[in-house]
Amino acid sequence: MSILKKIVTAIRGGAREVGESVVDANAIRILEQEIHDQQDAIAKAKDALTEVMADESKTGRQINAIKDRIAEHEGYASQALEKGDEALALEVAEKIAEYENELLEMQPVYDGYKTSVATLKDQIRKAEKSIQEHKRELSVVKTTERVQKARVSVNSSLSSGVSKSSAARDSLNRIKERQQRLDDKIKASETLNAENSDADLKARLSEAGIGETKSKANDILERLKKK
Amino acid sequence: MELKELAIQLSGYVQDGFKLDVLPIQENGDGEITVLQVIIEGFDELPIFVTATEEQILCVTNLFTQDEVKPDLIDELHQTMLRLSINIPLSSLGLIDDQYVLFGAMSINTLLDNIAHELVTQSENAFESLEALEEFLN
């Protein structure tokens, strides 16, 4: 059964601690062991493959050499016949028969090697595919385990913290309030800035003698003298 | 990147104007860090729990529990979550035991800048998802 299917079965079975029920301590170990075994199997199969491939190529070369010899001797036999030397031709023909017997013996061996190579390659492909599948499953299991861990350790070590004790709505409201306060603060400081720049302008205007001019001591003195 | 390394590098990191706060959590007290709690500035109530496998970095934010959902709306909530999940880039909605979560995963080879960006995005997504699903809650 695939890991995802196991998880769905656990969920439908009403398991609350889905993570734990799927990720028993053994699951990860078994998957890792299987990946390890498959990798071993691949390494061995590859060793065997290189040996068989060497044998295959050696036998192939031998077969070709024999075929060459046969062709060569067939030439000799024809030449002997042309020269009318039937005895010599027969001798050559016997040699050819020897070679052909050798060829007959070697061909099945060569075919055997060829089949072995194909089988080994097939096995390696299968093992690689299975490693890939196990790795994917392991990744699902580990993700499930990690998420579970995050949840469990958070509950046990931070149960006094804000995250657990505050209900969602409270959290939401607190964040909203904080954002509102921040907004208010920004607005307040903007207003303050605006006022400051306003005051600054008034000050510069009054210095230039525009707008409300401040009563100066001299003016007051003048006014008093006029009385 | 290992979780320990990630914790060191992400701590105090500023991404997209948000400061990241990282709390490594040891599960067995054997020094091995199994989970990081990452808080994005301003989203203190929606911490992200970060774990890692050999291949992936997994990010989980708790949204609400099953008993916080209005019982008569639970089927509609599930349908809505399935539909909504498609609209949330790089995060999906899910259920771990009785806890509804926002969940994101990325490659273990993701650059730090991108991890930080994903974490900020996850907090924003979590907040907005919660806001969008508020009417289903008690």
Strands ordered across the beta sheet of B48-52:
B14-15, B18-26, B33-40, B48-52, B56-65, B99-107, B92-96
Residues A99 and A66: beta-carbon distance below 8 Å: yes
Distance of CA B62 to the CA centre of its chain: 7
Residues 6 or more apart in contact with residue A170 via CB below 8 angstroms: B45
What pLDDT shows up at residue A161?
Answer: 44
Q: Measuring CA to CA, which residue among B63, B52, B49 is closest to residue B125?
A: B63
Check if the beta carbon of residue B61 is closer than 8 Å to that of residue B126.
Answer: yes
Average pLDDT over residues A39-66: 92
pLDDT tens sequence across A125-171: 988 888 888 888 888 888 877 877 777 666 655 544 444 445 788 88
In tens, the pLDDT along A29-52 reads 888 888 898 899 899 989 999 999
| Residue A19 reports pLDDT greater than 60 | no
CB contact under 8 A, B45 and A174: yes
**The token pair that represents B64 in the structure block:** 């609400």
- Looking at chain A, the whole-number percentage of residues with pLDDT higher than 90 is 34
Mean local confidence (pLDDT), A80-89: 91
The residues pairing with B65 across neighbouring beta strands, listed in sequence order, are B99
Q: Which of A139, A153, A176 sits opposite B35 (nearest CB)?
A: A153
Closest chain A residue by Cα to residue B39? A163
Residues from chain B that touch A172, judged by Cβ atoms under 8 A, are 45, 127, 130-131, 134
Alpha carbons A55 and A52: distance in angstroms, whole number: 5
Domains of chain A: 3-165 (1.10.287), 176-227 (no CATH)
Chain A residues lying within 8 Å of B105, measured CB to CB: 143
Instruction: Answer whether residue A219 shows pLDDT above 70.
Output: yes
Q: Is A85 helix (H, G, I), strand (E, B) or coil?
A: coil
Between helix A25-82 and helix A86-157 the angle, nearest 10°, is 170
Tokens of A91: 């001798």
Tell me: pLDDT of A111 over 60: yes
Q: Are strands B56-65 and B14-15 parallel, antiparallel or unpaired?
A: unpaired
Q: Which residues contact A128 (CB under 8 A, 6 or more apart)?
A: A42
CB pairs under 8 A between A and B: 101
Q: Percentage of chain A with pLDDT > 70?
A: 85
Question: Which mean pLDDT values do the consecutive 10-residue runs of chain B (138 residues) have?
Answer: 86 88 79 86 90 89 91 93 88 88 92 93 92 90
For B17, which DSSP code? T
Q: How many CB atoms lie within 10 A of CB A13?
A: 9
The arithmetic mean of pLDDT across residues A115-131, rounded, is: 90
Q: What is the mean pLDDT of chain A?
A: 81
Alpha-carbon gap: B113 to the closest alpha carbon of chain A (Å): 23
The shares of helix, strand and coil residues in chain A, as percent rounded to the nearest 5, are 90, 0, 10
Please state the length of chain B: 138
Contact B138 A169 (CB under 8 A): yes
Q: What is the pLDDT of residues A165-201, one digit of tens each?
A: 457 888 888 888 888 888 888 888 888 787 777 777 7
Say if residue A85's pLDDT is above 50.
yes
The domain defined by B3-136 carries CATH number 3.30.1460.10: yes
Q: Where are the alpha helices (DSSP H) in A13-85?
A: 18-22, 25-82
